[in-house]
Amino acid sequence: MSNLQVLKNRVFKLERLEAKQRAASLICTCRVETDYHDANCLESVLKAQANFACEVHGIRDLGPLVWIPDGMPLIRDDRKFCVCPPQLSQNMGGGRSETGF
Domain containing residue 74: 27-92
With respect to residue 6, please indicate whether it lies within any of the assigned structural domains.
Answer: no
Provide the domain count of the chain.
1
pLDDT tens-place string over residues 48-69 = 988 888 888 888 899 999 999 9
With respect to residue 61, please indicate whether it lies within any of the assigned structural domains.
Answer: yes
With respect to residue 17, please indicate whether it lies within any of the assigned structural domains.
Answer: no
Long-range pairs for 38-42: beta carbons < 8 A, 24 or more residues apart: 38/70, 38/84, 40/83, 40/84, 41/74, 41/81, 41/82, 41/83, 41/84
pLDDT at 57: 86
Q: Inform me whether the pLDDT recorded for 89 exceeds 60.
A: no
With respect to residue 42, please indicate whether it lies within any of the assigned structural domains.
Answer: yes
With respect to residue 79, please indicate whether it lies within any of the assigned structural domains.
Answer: yes
With respect to residue 15, please indicate whether it lies within any of the assigned structural domains.
Answer: no
Q: pTM (2 decimals)?
A: 0.60
pLDDT tens-place string over residues 6-47 = 888 898 888 888 877 776 678 888 999 999 999 999 999 999
